[in-house]
Chains A and B, each alone.
Chain A
Amino acid sequence: MKKVILADNNKNNKPILYAMRFLLFLTFIFKGWLLADMQYMATGNIAGVLSSTVSYLIVGMVPFLLFLFASYLSYSTFSSSKYAPVNQELRVLVNKDTYYINLMIITCVSNIIAGALNFVAYFYSISITLVIILVPIIMSLFTVVTMMSTLIAMTGKKNAKSLIVSMCGPSFILFALLR
């Protein structure tokens, strides 16, 4: 079974997608460095580089895999919405690669901001609870809002309403899975 509404993806996008995924993984590690540090400090039995590396990888890998799942599921939901902006051939105006690349760029920025906020929490007297709980939620909001704004900018103002309506479902998915 094939969805005809999915736009054809350009094979030239593959290297960019791979590079972006790798960069994204690094930003996830950066975002969670303080959490990784705490996990390592709390649970690390093997002293030295190995246990800290494992902690960093876990902290980066889990949200990264969640992101991949979230991006697939959110685009699938978005593109199969009857309100998604389409062209005359009923093809969704936002192609899959474009959606993924946009989402990855925005998430990268979000992760870098969140990672930088960890430094603020580390060096100044700001509670760790701010970093662990509030910042990720604020950054999820930032990601979703920026994603919608970018897509509106790409598809044109005339499609803004249909895009917002069709992005409501994917937004829930992103809120739930982006960590």
Chain B
Amino acid sequence: MKKIILCVVSMMIMVAMLVGCTTQPKDVVNYDPSTSKVVAGIQGYDTYKEFVTNYPARTSGYIDSFNKDKSKEAALWISSQLSSYGYSSAFSEQSGLQQFPYTNPITAKSETAYNVVYTKDSTTPNAKTVVIGAHYDNVANIMAGSSMIGGEGAYNNATGIAGLLELARILVDVELDYNVEFVAFGAEESGSFGSKYYINVLDKASRDDIMLMVNFDRLAGGDYVYMYSSEAKTDHNDYFYSKAEENSLNIQTLPSYLRPYMLSYADSNLIYTNEAMMSDSNVFLNNNINIVNIISMNFSDNSTATIKEKAGLGNISYTQNDTFENMNVRLGGEIKAKSIIDAQIANAVSAVYYSMIGVDFADVMIKSEPNGGLDAMMDNKLINIISYSILAGFILILVILYFALRECVKSHPVLVDTPFGRVDRRTGKVYTSNVSPTISKKIDVFGEDASDTDDVIESADSGETPLLENKKTVDENDIFGEF
């Protein structure tokens, strides 16, 4: 009875623990500016609104019915903003645009797209570079199979462009001992073609000089603002996060396990734990450059198979719901939407700003590795080596024990019953002891003419051992020879 009660109680505990496994969305963070020390004067919403309402169709390669490249127009607007802050561009002759060709995987046509590249140069000799990036293109009205996808790209990624421009604006007068390159990437949605081109045309020295890439992709509109690196933990991401904590900013870290998109995008050599693998930052990571991603999402909502920006609501990215109006509705009206988007962009931009002005920022970024934190230990190869070394070590111990001990261990026959008698499985030797008790004993065999047979029987009955002359003794196994 006690065992049954124990089993029932154990099962109840197990069920309770399983129920506890279901991760419920947490309460939405209150992005009250008064509780976090954001940098004063960040007005992300206005920039975001201006950009998304003026350039709702900015898919790279999209030429409208008036033969206008809307993507280029959007890029030129970003360029004008950065130029107005006083930044210079190596592509000033092209109005700050880095033009590049690419083959659109959807249309299979060769198209032209643009990166917007502006630089804040440092006076420090041999200064390293930090790239602040965000893609400006969107997926507007694209046919995917039989359905139309894409909206205005309000969330993805007008919010990121607003963050990029706000950060550029507040860094104008700040003296830094490293260069900063502000890059608005084109053709990201088609396959990160802008960032690939940007990296590929750099010479090795310039590429090695990049000590960090900060990526703003979907910066506001979700429940939380997450900041994360190439893996769940790196030194450079820790640095950013510590600055966010110091200033009471509402920044979250990722849960360290794979999300749906992440699994499908997972590299074969490394199980990535974040969405950085889907954005321009992945291109930098593949070139061994440290990355920090900032994204507004709700990774805690596991209620369906897709990531959601807001708990309980459908996915907005890449859908026709990704519009300025719909964002306002989802966030509770324009006034509330302005408050939330302002606060989230301010928190994200402030986290980057406080980190970039840190006195030891450059030192930490240079020393840190793309996967240099705890998770550097956790890539698949190393884990496999450790795991299987442990296993192989233990198996080796077992083999050694087997050969060392078997000599001093008594072996015994392994018996099976067959129609032919009881047989030792290994040697084939026949044992009959339990089948025929008579044969199993040693037997005295006498000749038919033995004169003392009666005496022997009498002696046996009385328990005495008679002294015999005409007999031979055989073992049980030899009997089979006799028969």
Contacts and interface: CB of A to CB of B under 8 A. Distances in A.
A103 interface: no
Contact of B383 (A1, A30, A129): A129
Interface in A54-89: 56, 80-84, 86
A90 B401 contact: no
Interface string A102-138: 0000000000000100000111111111111110011
B256 A82 contact: no
Contact of A137 (B14, B231, B233, B391): B391
A26 B405 contact: no
A137 B390 contact: yes
Contact of A128 (B253, B273, B387): B273
A123 B325 CA distance: 36
Question: What interface size band does chain B fall in?
Answer: 35 or more
Contact of B409 (A3, A124, A128, A161): A161
A137 B305 contact: no
Contact of A126 (B232, B271, B416): B232
Contacts of A82: 411-414, 426
- Listed residue (A42, A56, A84, A86) with the most chain B CB atoms within 10 angstroms of its CB: A42
A83 B409 contact: yes
A127 B390 contact: no
Contact of B257 (A34, A115, A171): A34
Contacts of B399: 168
Contacts of A134: 383, 386-387
B381 to A, nearest CB: 10
Nearest to B417: A2
A23 B11 contact: yes
Question: What interface size band does chain A fall in?
Answer: 35 or more
Contact of B378 (A2, A127, A137): A127
Nearest to B21: A33
A175 B409 contact: no
Nearest to A18: B7
Nearest to B401: A164
B379 interface: yes
A67 to B, nearest CB: 16
A127 to B, nearest CB: 3
A131 B257 CA distance: 10
Interface string B7-26: 10011001101100101000
Interface stretch (B56-64, B91-99, B259-267, B359-367): B259-267
B305 A44 contact: yes
Contact of A162 (B10, B21, B390, B409): B409
B384 interface: yes
Contacts of B412: 82, 84, 86, 90
B3 A1 contact: no
Nearest to B410: A162
B417 A165 contact: no
Interface in B427-448: 434
Contacts of A42: 258, 260, 263-264, 305
A145 B374 CA distance: 29
B398 A133 contact: no
Nearest to A108: B10
B304 A4 contact: no
Given A126-B256, A164-B405, A3 B10 contact: no
B405 A161 contact: yes
B256 A124 contact: yes
A1 B418 contact: yes
Contacts of B402: 164-165, 168
- In the A-B complex, the 5 residue pairs with the smallest Cβ-Cβ separation, listed nearest first, are A127-B378, A44-B305, A42-B263, A82-B411, A125-B233
Interface of A: 1-5, 15-16, 19-20, 22-23, 26-27, 29-30, 33-34, 37-38, 40-45, 47-48, 51, 56, 80-84, 86, 90, 115, 121-134, 137-138, 140-141, 144, 161-162, 164-165, 168, 171-172, 175
12 contacts: A2-B417, A3-B416, A19-B7, A37-B257, A42-B264, A80-B425, A126-B232, A126-B256, A126-B374, A137-B387, A137-B391, A140-B391
Given A26-B11, A128-B257, 6 more contacts: A1-B417, A4-B417, A84-B412, A129-B380, A164-B402, A172-B398
